Amino acid sequence: MQVVFFFVFFYPLFMAIFWMMGAIIFYLRRERKERDVPRLDVYPRVAILVPCHNEEVVIRDALTQLAQNRYPNFEIIAIDDGSSDHTNDILQEMAGKISNLRVVTLTRNMGKAMALKAGAIASSSEFLMCIDADALLDKHALFWMIRHFLEGPRVGAVTGNPRVVNRASLLARIQIGEFSAIVGMIKRTQRKLGRIFTVSGVNTCFRRAALHSVGYWSPGTVTEDIDVSWKLQLRHWDIRYEPHALTWILVPEGLSTLWKQRLRWAQGGVEAAIRYAGTIFKWNSRRMWSVYVEYWVGVLWCYAFAFTVVCWVGTNYLPRGDWPPSLAVHTLVPGWTGVILAFTCLSQFTVGLVLDSFYERRGLIRYLFWAIWYPAVYWLISAATTVVAVPKGIYKYGKTHYAVWRSPKRRLRDLFLWAHPTANHRHYFLDHPIVLFSRRVAELMITVIFWGLWVYLVTPLLSLGLWFIGIYLFVDRMITLGGYEAFAEQLVNYGAAVFVMWLALTLWVIWNLRRYGQRNRRHEPPPYVTNDQIAETMHLPVTTISRAHESRDIHLHFDQHERPVIEKL
CATH code assigned at 75: 3.90.550.10
Amino acid identity of residue 345, one-letter, is C
Handedness of CA 437, 361, 351, 381 (dihedral sign): positive
Measured CA to CA, the distance from residue 186 to residue 203 in angstroms comes to 17
Q: Is 561 helix (H, G, I), strand (E, B) or coil?
A: coil
Final residue before a domain boundary, out of 515, 536, 559: 515
Segments in the chain below pLDDT 50: 408, 410-430, 464-465, 477-479, 481
Residues 506 and 531 in one domain: no
Residues 394 and 480 in one domain: yes
Residues 507 and 559 in one domain: no
Measured CA to CA, the distance from residue 366 to residue 135 in angstroms comes to 24
Domain that holds residue 145: 45-178+194-253+526-568
Q: What is the pLDDT of residue 335?
A: 63
Assigned domain for 430 exists: yes
Residue 554: closest CA among 23, 15, 102, 188: 102
**What DSSP state is assigned to residue 378?**
I
Residue 409: closest CA among 261, 569, 205: 261
Residues 245 and 343 in one domain: no
Contact 490, 336 (CB under 8 A): yes
- In this prediction the pTM is 0.82
Residues 160 and 302 in one domain: no
First to last CA, the chain: 65
Cβ–Cβ contacts within 10 Å for residue 420, how many? 12
Measured CA to CA, the distance from residue 288 to residue 193 in angstroms comes to 10
Residues 128 and 219 in one domain: yes
The residues, ordered by sequence, that sit 6+ positions from 517 with a Cβ below 8 Å of its Cβ are none
Q: What is the pLDDT of residue 324?
A: 84
Assigned domain for 268 exists: no
Residues 447 and 555 in one domain: no
Assigned domain for 267 exists: no
Q: Is 482 helix (H, G, I), strand (E, B) or coil?
A: helix
- Could you give the C-alpha distances from 353 to 141, 222, 366, 381, in angstroms and in order? 20, 30, 9, 22
Measured CA to CA, the distance from residue 161 to residue 246 in angstroms comes to 5
Assigned domain for 357 exists: yes
Residues 504 and 536 in one domain: no
Q: What is the pLDDT of residue 47?
A: 95
Residues 363 and 439 in one domain: yes
Residue 410: closest CA among 107, 91, 133, 3: 133
Assigned domain for 94 exists: yes
Contact 238, 205 (CB under 8 A): no
The residues, ordered by sequence, that sit 6+ positions from 39 with a Cβ below 8 Å of its Cβ are none
Measured CA to CA, the distance from residue 313 to residue 238 in angstroms comes to 46
Residues 233 and 122 in one domain: yes
| DSSP states along 423-459 | ---TTTTTTSHHHHHHHHHHHHHHHHHHHHHHHHHHH
Assigned domain for 266 exists: no
The residues, ordered by sequence, that sit 6+ positions from 28 with a Cβ below 8 Å of its Cβ are none
Q: What is the pLDDT of residue 419?
A: 35
Measured CA to CA, the distance from residue 274 to residue 272 in angstroms comes to 5
The residues, ordered by sequence, that sit 6+ positions from 29 with a Cβ below 8 Å of its Cβ are 192
Q: What is the pLDDT of residue 420?
A: 38
The arrangement of strands across the sheet holding 553-558 comes to 136-137, 238-249, 155-164, 203-207, 127-131, 46-52, 74-81, 101-106, 553-558, 564-568
Q: What is the pLDDT of residue 428?
A: 42
Beta-strand pair 127-131/136-137? unpaired
Q: What is the pLDDT of residue 547?
A: 93
Assigned domain for 312 exists: yes
Q: What is the pLDDT of residue 430?
A: 47
Q: What is the pLDDT of residue 180?
A: 76
- Could you give the C-alpha distances from 473 to 336, 351, 458, 484, in angstroms and in order? 11, 28, 11, 15
Final residue before a domain boundary, out of 515, 535, 560: 515
Final residue before a domain boundary, out of 470, 495, 515: 515
For 310-332, write each residue's pLDDT tens digit: 888 888 888 877 888 888 887 77
Contact 370, 173 (CB under 8 A): yes
Residues 154 and 218 in one domain: yes
CA 400 and chain centroid, separation: 23
| DSSP states along 382-421 | HHHHHHHHHHHHHHHTTT-SS----PPP-HHHHHHHHHST
Domain count, the chain: 2
- Could you give the C-alpha distances from 541 to 89, 114, 208, 546, in angstroms and in order? 29, 19, 19, 9
Beta-strand pair 127-131/203-207? antiparallel
Measured CA to CA, the distance from residue 15 to residue 28 in angstroms comes to 20
Q: What is the pLDDT of residue 470?
A: 55
Residues 494 and 541 in one domain: no
Q: What is the pLDDT of residue 73?
A: 93
Assigned domain for 282 exists: no
